[in-house]
Structure 1
Amino acid sequence: MKGDFDSVLQKTRGYDVLEGFPWFMIYKELDQRIPGSRFILTTREKKSWYKSVADHIGDIRSPPHEWIYGRGKGIPLEDKAHTLAVCDDHNKSVIKYFEDRPNDLLILDLYADDKWQQVCKFLDHEVPEENYPHSNKASDKNPLGLKSKLRTVRRKFKNYLVLKFMDTMGYW
Structure 2
Amino acid sequence: MKGIRFYDAVSDLPACVYWQTLQQAFPEAKIILTARKSEDVWLKSWNEQAAAINGSKIFKIHCTFTPTGRQYAQFKRKTIQTTFDCLPTSYIISRDEQILRKTYREHNRIVQEKAPKDRLLVFNLSDGWKPLCKFLEKDIPDVSFPYSNKGSPFEDPSVAPLLFRRLDQELYFLISFLVIIVDIIIVFLFFNS
TM-score w.r.t. the length of structure 2 is 0.61
In structure 2, what is the Cα distance between the partners aligned to 1:35 and 1:70? 27
Matching residue's letter, 2:32: I
1:82 pairs with 2:108: no
1:18 pairs with 2:10: yes
Q: Deviations over 1:106-158 (max 9, x none)?
A: 0001223xx2110111111111111112122228865xxxx6xx98x74xx7x
Matching residue's letter, 1:122: F
- The structure carrying a bigger helix percent of its residues is 2
In structure 1, what is the Cα distance between the partners aligned to 2:98 and 2:34? 20
Give the root-mean-square deviation of aligned CA atoms.
2.8
Runs of 4 or more, structure 1, over 4 Å off, are 139-142
In structure 1, what is the Cα distance between the partners aligned to 2:142 and 2:80? 37
Matching residue's letter, 2:98: A
Q: Which has the larger radius of gyration?
A: 2
Residue 48 (structure 1) shift: 2.0
Give the gaps of 5 or more residues in structure 2: 55-75, 168-193
Matching residue's letter, 1:127: I
Q: Deviations over 1:64-95 (max 9, x none)?
A: 21111112355542x21221111000000101
CA contact under 8 A between 1:40 and 1:105: conserved in structure 2?
A: yes
In structure 2, what is the Cα distance between the partners aligned to 1:76 and 1:13? 30
In structure 1, what is the Cα distance between the partners aligned to 2:153 and 2:87? 31
Give the gaps of 5 or more residues in structure 1: 1-8, 158-172
In structure 2, what is the Cα distance between the partners aligned to 1:80 and 1:140? 22
- Residue identity over aligned pairs, in percent, reads 24
1:122 pairs with 2:135: yes
Higher relative contact order (CA 8 A, sep 6+): 1
In structure 2, what is the Cα distance between the partners aligned to 1:86 and 1:103? 25
